[in-house]
Structure formats: C-alpha cells, structure tokens
Chain A
C-alpha cells in the first residue's frame, strides 16, 4: 500500500468505527471523552481540559425506534439518530456533552438529554456584529468552562486554552490546505474518501489528525495532476451523509471540489483570532464566522460566497444537500436557487436523510443531472 492509501484507509476506518477510534485515542493518551453535538462549540476548552472532544453527528445506518417516543417525525434525522443513541446508552462513557442552541431543534435537544453524563448547554448570540454579543458569549463560555471543570475534576487555565487554540488553528489551516490540494486530485480523493477525512476529525486527537493531514497533503502534491473527465461539484448544506449518497456521486464520476457543509468545511472556515483573553478570542471566532445558515447572515453572504466558489474551483454545478426538516437551510434555499438560476449555475437539490435506506430516487436525480450536461 502506498502512503496515501494507508492514510486514507486509516481515516476511513476511524470514520466508519468511531467507537474503536475513540477507544484507541483514549488508550494512547489516557484522555477522557467529551461529546460535542452539532454544529459549533468551543472545543478548545474541552481540549484544554485534557479531554478528547468527540463529535456526535448521528449515525447513518441507525434504525429509529426508541427516539420516536420523544421526538416527532418532523425533527431532522441527525437529531433522531442522536436521540436513539442517547436512549441506547451509546454516549454513557462520555464525561459530559456540549450542546449549542443555534436552531429551535437544538434548543430542545439540550433540554431533553437522556444520556447519563451531564449536558452542558450554551447559546451563541445572533446579533453578531455587536461587541456586547462577544461579551455575552464570553459569559456563556465561562459557564461551559466551569461545568467542564466540575465534570472532569480539573482546572482549565487560560494558558491551556491558548495552547489548545494553537492546536486547533493549526488543524483548521492544515485541513483547508488539504481541501485546496485535494480538489486537483479527484482521482485519488473521491467523494467518499474526502468525507471520511473530514469526519475522522471528530474522533481523533486534533494534533494527530493534523499530522496525518499534512502528510497526506504533501504526498498528494508530489503526485502528477491528471485531467478529470467527470464533472466537478460543490456541496452545500449540513451534511452529505450517508456514504451511499457519496458513492452515487462517485459512480457517476462526480468530484467534490469544494464544500460548504456544516459537518465539513464550515468547521474549519474561520480561525480563532489572536488576542490575550482566550474566551474572548473564542467568542470573536463566532463573530467572524460567515456563510452559514445558523449564524445570522444579514446580507445572506452565503449566496455570493457559493457563487464565487463555483468560479474559483471551476465547478460544473452546486448540489444543495438539504437535510430534511432543517429549517435554517430550508430558508436559504429559495434565495440561493434564484441567484444560481439567474447566474446560470447548474444546481440540484437533494433531500438528505441520514437514515435513508432507499437511494433509488437520489440515483435517478443524480443520473438525470449528469445526463443534462
């Protein structure tokens, strides 16, 4: 196996079996695990506490049964899956779980946690251009920090948070660089592999992930670029799971050259800025966030952002991965759609259901879409 193949195989293994990956990381580092629900959280504070932050983004092949008691059918599939796993005790080994409240569903999820560990809910301010919003968020983060200290029995120093920020910023930069490079190697980094690399981030120590990503990027850069005979697309939305959907893209020679997925690029879009007070630095990262349906976007800058991405990456089309029942995304779609039609950017909306078991309609849509070119 080549070095690239080895790294990809590792990433895929981590993404496919988070439980094992977390156990491995814990065995290696002796760290306790803390869960982090979608979409954004100050993971650096968890990392500074000497714990391993673990992303809880649901599971693709989960049958939903127990969760039906607590969540109506019109909750999104990620939350259905998380609720199911809460009830099955999947999260019981976590020392705590962080829940943000950017949408109405998550506000409720933070109030109805059924797992054993303590839930730490916090809220991002939405009047983001005001300095008072940063001050507010610092206070929320202080509560997060205190609750983590209690749950983990540690003291979290400013110094440790600043160090964690460095680790995370380095990871974000490395991932962004990787994504830029990967766009030129669709033969190697296919949609499924690309997703696995982004997903593995949630279950690995960030320092380890950074090292692997840097190595992979260097290997890729050393390879000759080949012309791509298929189509190039940009994915936007919350998530492009399950893998079956990405397999369909692969099957029809569609390369993902960039993404605006909450689960992927949005996680690494903005670095934590410089500064003295670490919690204020983290608060300002939220202020600087852009192009996301969950962060107030007074001018809908997400729309020109995506149009620009199409140009920059020479994409043939945009696929709007609409997580079923995610209303923040549902509101953005009609406006983005109108703009893309106006600019004659080919686009396709696919309804995403993490627990989907039948992909025939998606396959039909993707195939028809390709046939249109």
Chain B
C-alpha cells in the first residue's frame, strides 16, 4: 500500500473511487459478477461473495455534478419515462439502455462515449433496500425485468411509529437469509459465514471512522464544510465493507483534528454562520450553492447524511443489522424525523437550516412543511425552503436560491443581536 502513503484524504477518496470503478470494469471483463445496489442497501452479503458493487445513485450524482445529466434525462424521456420521475432513476435507466445497446451491437453509442461520469459495467444481479424510498423498488424492478437478472429486495417497512417493532426486525432478518440464498444460487457456492463476520467487523470500523470524521463538523468553528461531506459520502456508500473507507475517513479525521487544533476553519476564518442543509445536494449546482453560501459566510455543517450511513450493530446479530438499515430517517415517522433533524441542529450548533424541496424526491419533500415548523418550534432555528432537484438541472433557479439563503443569513444576523 506504499502508493497510498502520504496521500491526503481527498487524494485517497479519488484513488479508491477510481480503483473501485476500474476493478468492477476489469472484473466484469474477466467474468466476475457485478451488482448494482441502492446507496444504503446492505453491502455485507455481496462483499462476502466477492461481487463487485456499483451504486447507481452515486453514479448518477457524479454524472450530474459533471453536467452530463441532461443528455441522459432526455434519453429516458424518449423512452417514455415521465419527467416527474426521480432524476437519479432516469439517468440510470437511460445509462443502462446505452450499455445494453453497446453490448448488443459492439458499438459504443455516442451518448455513452460523451457521458462525463465514470464508466460502469452492466450488472449480473441487483439489490435494493427501500429505506431511502419506495421509488427504488420500482426503479430496480425495471432494471431486473429489462436485464432479466436476479433481484434482491431488502424491504424495510416504513416505520410509522417509532421505535422499530421487533416483528419488523424479524421480517428483515428473514429477508437477509433469503438474500443469502439468492446469492448462493447465483454464485453456485455456499455463503461463508466466517467471512461474513469479518465483513461486518470491517463495516463497523468504517462506520466508526466515518462518524469520527463527520463529527468534526460539530467543532466551532468547523474545520469541515458540508460540501466536502457531500463529496466524501461517496466512499461510505461504495466502500463501507472495505478498508478503503476506514483508511480514508481516519485520514480525514486526523487532518481535521490537526486543523481544528490550529484553530482553522473551513473558510479560513470566514465562518460567520453555521447552517444545516436538509435533503440531497443539487449536484449540477454544487459549486453554485457552495459559493452562494460561502459568500454569505455560511458554513454548512449540519446534514442528515452522516447519520444515514452511521449503521451500527452487534456483529453477528441479524436483527440488529436489520434495524440498522431500517432506521434511516426518511423511512421513519414525522416525530422521529423531527428528532433526527433537531439533533443535527443542536449537535452542530447550527443557527439556520435550508430545506431542499426536491422535485425528484417526494418522500424527502412532502413532510418538509410539517418538519420545518416543528423543528423551528422546538429549536428556535429559522429556516428557508428552496425549489431544486438532485440531478435534473432544469428544476433549480440560482436566483431563487440566492435570494432565499440571503434572507436566511439576514434572519440569523438579527437573531445574533
């Protein structure tokens, strides 16, 4: 691992990400199996089986951040996908079509050639977990049918009353066993239970390192800015079951601790306000939203992202592992959602919050009004809401965003007095 020595966390992030995409492509070429997975589905099972993992949501976000979303979105719309469907799904389904066309004809379609995101191989199996949304179930159903490949579902039923009931955990644990069986059938080999323990241990170490690094956002002033959080998130998604994540996040945490010890913040002393961002980033406008907030001295330190992958469980305990994947805040009732967001505000000392009314995500939008009101009542923290979309660049207005966050900064300024 000598080439990793002396690398910064940012360099490691780039290195590992590229390596994983490359490994998957190389592996596919050698006949190894590739799985497409939703971003908070259990990765443990496929890791044990030695299956390469690709995460379409991350891939779509990367395509979006590199301004390649529109071309894919238009292809999906040509196939008849409504423009009201999740833009991650539209990008991925269009990308899948292009990969299929390439595989059939041996010719790389122009749109695929020109797509700025990383190249990914077609999957041999897919796994999804509806802890993020039920839209994933439909999206992956379409992948499974179009590609005629095994479809692993981890159904974590919506927790309409907190806490998660025992019978829900039992149902999820049983699905884990079924997933294992599906993988055994696919791979033609038994599931290695000993290796499963090791993989779970690695996941726990990765998650601890993630918690440690993300926890640095609680320091005032913060050495971490939330947009870095958005970027580093890619690795907790893709490499939770690998040393890569643990390594990178520990390096990041070391760097941030050193920075904090020197009294430096992410804005070189310019942190005037600390705010939270509720919802997914607007990937095509990542730079615009970052600069717009930075110009107001707003450091985005609060996000529900860190918590989403903070999946802790006792190694070997299937029910606890099930609960870990079930507790994702968007899969839980309003009360719990409010608790999670209030905790983010308190722990990061945020004095303002922006709610992203995300055209792509009904689940992460339709409770915003209630959530914002109750959180404000409870914490006194003011909020603004803006219209946007995670990757469809046509549903965001920079002018609207700038005006709203400026108004938030003005309210925060008043509240300081």
| Cβ-based interface call for A133 (8 A) | yes
State which of B42-50, B76-84, B203-211, B224-232 sits at the interface with chain A: B76-84
Asked if B84 and A330 sit within 8 Å, CB to CB, the answer is yes
Asked if A334 and B130 sit within 8 Å, CB to CB, the answer is no
Asked if B138 and A328 sit within 8 Å, CB to CB, the answer is yes
Q: A318-355 CB contact bits vs B (8 Å, 1 = yes)?
A: 00001011011011111101100000000001000000
A38-86 residues at the B interface, CB under 8 angstroms:
69-72, 74-75
Asked if B145 and A335 sit within 8 Å, CB to CB, the answer is yes
Nearest chain A residue, comparing its CB with the CB of B152: A127
Assuming the contacts A105-B362, A108-B366, A300-B145, asked whether A127 and B158 have C-beta atoms less than 8 A apart, the reply is: no
Asked if B82 and A322 sit within 8 Å, CB to CB, the answer is yes
Asked if A104 and B135 sit within 8 Å, CB to CB, the answer is yes
- Residues on the A chain within 8 Å of B165, using CB: 139
| Cβ-based interface call for A225 (8 A) | no
Assuming the contacts A296-B153, A331-B85, A333-B80, asked whether A132 and B174 have C-beta atoms less than 8 A apart, the reply is: yes
Asked if B151 and A331 sit within 8 Å, CB to CB, the answer is no
| Cβ-based interface call for B243 (8 A) | no
Nearest chain A residue, comparing its CB with the CB of B86: A327
B134 interface neighbour in A104, A122, A135, Cβ under 8 Å:
A104
B170 interface neighbour in A104, A111, A132, A300, Cβ under 8 Å:
A132
| Cβ-based interface call for B146 (8 A) | yes
B167 interface neighbour in A122, A136, A325, A333, Cβ under 8 Å:
A136
Using C-beta atoms within 8 Å of the partner chain, give the interface range for chain B.
35 or more
- Residues on the A chain within 8 Å of B168, using CB: 136
In Å, the complex CA distance between A301 and B273 comes to: 54
Smallest beta-carbon distance B74→chain A, Å: 14
Smallest beta-carbon distance B96→chain A, Å: 12
Asked if B160 and A126 sit within 8 Å, CB to CB, the answer is no
Asked if B167 and A327 sit within 8 Å, CB to CB, the answer is no
| Cβ-based interface call for B365 (8 A) | yes
Smallest beta-carbon distance A358→chain B, Å: 20
B178 interface neighbour in A69, A127, A331, Cβ under 8 Å:
A127
Smallest beta-carbon distance A180→chain B, Å: 29
Nearest chain B residue, comparing its CB with the CB of A132: B174
| Cβ-based interface call for B26 (8 A) | no
In Å, the complex CA distance between A265 and B145 comes to: 25
In Å, the complex CA distance between A91 and B374 comes to: 24
A111 interface neighbour in B82, B151, B361, B367, Cβ under 8 Å:
B367
In Å, the complex CA distance between A223 and B260 comes to: 87
Smallest beta-carbon distance B136→chain A, Å: 10
In Å, the complex CA distance between A299 and B287 comes to: 41
Asked if A107 and B363 sit within 8 Å, CB to CB, the answer is yes
Nearest chain A residue, comparing its CB with the CB of B83: A330
Assuming the contacts A139-B167, A322-B82, A334-B81, asked whether A72 and B366 have C-beta atoms less than 8 A apart, the reply is: yes
Of the A-B pairs whose beta carbons lie under 8 Å apart in the complex, a sample of 23, sorted by A's number, is A72-B365, A74-B84, A102-B134, A104-B366, A109-B366, A111-B333, A112-B370, A121-B160, A126-B157, A127-B154, A130-B171, A132-B174, A136-B171, A139-B165, A296-B155, A327-B84, A330-B85, A333-B80, A334-B80, A334-B142, A335-B146, A338-B79, A349-B80
